[in-house]
Amino acid sequence: MPSTVEERHKKLVETFTQAGQSQVFQFWDDLNQQEREQLLDQLETLPVKSLSHLNDIFKQSISTKQNSKDIKPFPIEKIAILRTSDKKQQWYDLGLKNIAEGKVAVLLLAGGQGTRYEIIV
């Protein structure tokens, strides 16, 4: 593993660029030394090959011609049913299967948005 910040940075820029994620370093010049080291520490823990694979899947999904009128959000009134149903595990497993097959998409809400919309898994 490279030891200096410059060596680590160079290696990670190369790795992330190959994975199609070079934008990660867009604000590198704005960071101070401590912030740079923290960023490198975090980036070294990421599974970059998985990111590359996910990026490929994303690019493939947006390149296919789909009718956006066919894409509909999950009805909000049904969320309460999901939380209390005895079929929750069955639906959860079915959801994962459909995601793996590329039949549905997942929206991950961050920053408390999930609890604001009362989405509890």
Each domain of the chain, given as residue ranges in start order, spans 5-63, 68-116
Alpha-carbon span 27 to 66, nearest angstrom: 35
Q: How many C-alpha atoms does 83 have within 13 Å on its Cβ side?
A: 9
What is the H or E stretch that residue 3 is in? Answer: none
Q: Are 46 and 19 contacting, i.e. CB atoms less than 8 angstroms apart?
A: no
Alpha-carbon span 53 to 32, nearest angstrom: 31
Q: What is the pLDDT of residue 80?
A: 60
Residue pLDDT, tens place only, 39-64: 999 999 988 877 777 777 777 776 66
- pLDDT in single tens digits along all 121 residues of the chain: 557 999 999 999 999 998 888 999 999 999 999 999 999 999 999 888 777 777 777 777 766 666 666 667 767 666 666 666 677 788 788 888 888 887 876 666 566 555 555 555 4
